[in-house]
Amino acid sequence: MNLPRWSRFSSYVLDSALIVLVTLLSIASPVASGPARASAVAGVLPDASPDSLLVLLPPRTEETVRRDLTTAEAAETSAGTDLVSAQGRLGEVKAHIEVRKSEIETIKAKIKLAKEQKNQTEQVNLEREAKMKDLQMKVLEARKEMREAEVNLADTRRKTAQTQSGFFKKELELIGKRDDQLKMSSAGEGATNLDGLIRLQIEIRDLERRCIEILKDVVEREKNVADGETSLLEKRLELHEAQLALLQGPKK
């Protein structure tokens, strides 16, 4: 009884492999893609007959994937450079804030002394200076929040590019296995090497699943990048308002 069941299973796997081969060969040209930032998710999959299996990750040329991989690796390097730069600027503005806090505390002590000495002129001048320092502090705080947003965005872009690179590398593995499948079919080895065809088919199925899972992670990370860009622009608008208030000076 075991032999017939194995025979039927083998026939099914062989048929499935041939269906995928026919589907691949029926595609006139591989799906192309743009830069790494462009979505690699196909909007509409190529159709197949009702009793055939769809190729859930449309094939692309090795040249296209390697170009996307190069772009993603360059984006990762660029984002890493931006991250280091943003972290350095964030550290600088934090140091400036501490200096400004100390200056404000010194002015407050002088105002208190001027009040005790009933030196109204000195008190008025110091209070005006204190208001200007407060405006300067608000600018620095807004700048700090902007720098924090820049750090977050650079880190998010770096992680996104890393995930994109992982997808393209896995896609190259899939391309290699699909090529092996096509070669085996064209050489007529499938009928004589059923075990090898089964193993290859399983590897291809596993790679397709893993590619789709990684691509899903890419899409989620790209959402985070968009959120980070929105947040950064909001912080820049807030800094614009703080700088404008500083230019206009303290309200009388």
Task: Give the model's pLDDT for residue 138.
Answer: 97
Task: Give the model's pLDDT for residue 199.
Answer: 86
Q: Residues 55-75: pLDDT tens digits?
A: 788 888 999 999 999 999 999
- The three state secondary structure string of the chain is CHHHHHHHHHHHHHHHHHHHHHHHHHCCCCCCCCCCCCCCCCCCCCCCCCCCCCCCCCCCCHHHHHHHHHHHHHHHHHHHHHHHHHHHHHHHHHHHHHHHHHHHHHHHHHHHHHHHCCCHHHHHHHHHHHHHHHHHHHHHHHHHHHHHHHHHHHHHHHHHHHHHHHHHHHHHHHHHHHHHHHHHHHCCCCCCCHHHHHHHHHHHHHHHHHHHHHHHHHHHHHHHHHHHHHHHHHHHHHHHHHHHHHHHCCCC
Confidence grade of residue 196 (pLDDT, cut at 50, 70, 90): confident
Q: Residues 7-45: pLDDT tens digits?
A: 434 444 444 444 344 344 433 334 433 334 456 676 666
Averaged pLDDT, 214-243: 97
Q: Where are the domains of the chain?
A: 2-28+59-248
Token pair belonging to 102: 């100390």
Assess whether pLDDT exceeds 90 at residue 247.
Answer: yes
Alpha carbon distance 93, 141 (integer Å): 8
Look at domain 2-28+59-248 and name its CATH class: mainly alpha
- Report which of 74, 65, 75, 57 is spatially closest to residue 221, judged by C-alpha positions: 75
Alpha carbon distance 103, 118 (integer Å): 22
Assess whether pLDDT exceeds 60 at residue 108.
Answer: yes
Assess whether pLDDT exceeds 90 at residue 1.
Answer: no
Token pair belonging to 20: 């995928």
Alpha carbon distance 116, 105 (integer Å): 17
Q: Residues 162-186: pLDDT tens digits?
A: 999 999 999 999 999 988 888 887 7
Token pair belonging to 49: 């007959």
